Amino acid sequence: MPYSRVSSTTALIDEGNLTQLEFLALDSTFNFADGHARQELTASQEKIIGDLPELFAQAASQPVAELERTAFANYCRLLGQHSFPLDAGRVFTCYSSSVAMEIVARSLATRTDSIALIHPTFDNIPDILRGVGLRLVPLPEDELHRRDLDPRLLDDVESVFVTTPNNPTGRVLTADRLRRLAGQCAQRGTVLILDTSFRGFDSRAFFDHYAVLEASGCRWIVIEDTGKLWPTLDLKVGWLVTSADTGLPVADIYSDILLGVSPFVLALIGRFVEDAASGGLGELHRFIAGNRRLLRSALDGLPRISFPDQESRGSVERIDLGERSSSRLVLEELCERSVFVLPCRQFCWANPAEGDNAVRVALARPTESLATGAGVMREVLARQC
């Protein structure tokens, strides 16, 4: 039941944050707003849900530390992350990636006052970082992928935050770029933070990030997230993983906020990971690719409409409405017809105008519902563009 200070839809589209727009859509028939996994369960996932009472009993009897290690290690291996740490005090299981983010931000704020942040990215990241008092310096995505960071930028900040694959663009930091970036951070003592919440959708992000980070010698933090992949009704965890010595009070701040997550959720995640390893992950990738094709063809041939993220494999897709189009008009009209997507304005946290002509559509939805929603989008866009 949470609403922000702005109450009308129009005001929210202009001034609200993305999560507040996502609230509006929560119980709507055509919610393509949030990036949570809302597709139907596959047959083998249905089977896991049928076993929930046994999973509860198992979770009650097994040591939590064991459930935690198994879920984390198998999740990492599933996504090609073989050099993950298991040492004491380096893996913190959180209720969600945003809780992990809050803990990272609060830890950073005790020791540093500035951070370079990828631009664009989901707005709760800059909002949390600003909320704890950090000064943000934009790190344009194009720059990040093109060349080494400008030394002047690095001299200006004490940490660097990169979302990879990025949200909403889907762009993946290559192993080579990560190596160079981590090297630059190591040289200067800068803390490198990666949010890899959307990694599971894109095998190009399956190279062993932990090996690259460890080899660089930099201080690093990685946020992993199980919440985007499987339709577990938001039973999920976020993992906050750190280099051996970050110089930050992560363990203390973590323990101010939680003792740990539910062992039941850990056991459930463990089962979904197993299922993904036995073919479920490939099935998920084909499903998202299918929904992406469906959306693109449903809007095919509309004047000025384009899909800027041609290479993206993430579970969200940006639609560029073309110059002179207003995403607000589109969103309002879609909203009246119970179809919810997100404006891109808020992703462009340092320069909202850059996002004015684009919207983001969530793809992790039942295909039929996306097909109907895409039909409505076509009608609306045909008039507005």
Residues 217-246 touching its own copies, rule: CB under 8 A, are 232-236
Query: Which letter, b or e, does each residue of 153-182 get, where b requires 16 or more Cβ atoms within 10 Å of its Cβ?
Result: bbeebbbbbbbbbbbbbbbbbeeebbbbbb
Taking the least distance from each CB to its own copies, the nearer of 218 and 261 is: 261
Cβ atoms within 10 A of the Cβ of 297, count?
10
Residue 315 touching its own copies (CB under 8 A):
no
Residue 261 touching its own copies (CB under 8 A):
yes
Question: Quick one: 46 exposed, middle or buried, by C-beta within 10 A (0-12, 13-18, 19+)?
Answer: exposed
Residue 251 · residue 89 · CB < 8 Å: yes
Contacting residue, 114, 262, 326, 369, with its own copies by CB under 8 A: 262
Which residues, listed in sequence order, are joined to residue 116 by a DSSP beta bridge? 137, 160
Give dist(CA 149, CA 325) in Å, integer. Answer: 33
Count of residues near its own copies by CB under 8 A: 71
Residue 263 touching its own copies (CB under 8 A):
yes
Q: Write out the two tokens for 98.
A: 């945003």
- Residues contacting residue 286 through CB under 8 Å, at least 6 positions apart: none
Residue 378 touching its own copies (CB under 8 A):
no
Name the one range near its own copies by CB under 8 A: 172-180, 258-266, 284-292, 362-370: 258-266
Residue 277 touching its own copies (CB under 8 A):
no
Q: Which of residues 87-126 bind its own copies (CB under 8 A)?
A: 87-93, 95-96, 98-99, 102, 106, 110, 124
H-state helical runs in the chain: 9-15, 18-25, 43-50, 52-61, 64-78, 97-111, 124-131, 141-146, 151-156, 175-188, 209-216, 250-257, 263-275, 281-298, 327-336, 367-384
Taking the least distance from each CB to its own copies, the nearer of 49 and 175 is: 49
Cβ atoms within 10 A of the Cβ of 278, count?
11
Give dist(CA 153, CA 83) in Å, integer. Answer: 30
Closest separation between CB of residue 266 and its own copies, Å?
9
Give CA 369 to chain center in angstroms.
22
Taking the least distance from each CB to its own copies, the nearer of 50 and 375 is: 50
Taking the least distance from each CB to its own copies, the nearer of 22 and 202 is: 22
Taking the least distance from each CB to its own copies, the nearer of 114 and 174 is: 114
Q: Which of residues 122-141 bind its own copies (CB under 8 A)?
A: 124, 127-128, 131-133
Q: Which of residues 157-186 bind its own copies (CB under 8 A)?
A: none
Enter the DSSP assignment of 308.
Answer: S
Contacting residue, 23, 206, 207, 307, with its own copies by CB under 8 A: 23
Q: Which of residues 26-85 bind its own copies (CB under 8 A)?
A: 26-27, 34, 36, 49-53, 56-57, 59-60, 63-66, 68-69
Taking the least distance from each CB to its own copies, the nearer of 58 and 174 is: 58
Closest separation between CB of residue 384 and its own copies, Å?
27
Q: Write out the two tokens for 320.
A: 């560029």
Contacting residue, 11, 258, 277, 382, with its own copies by CB under 8 A: 258
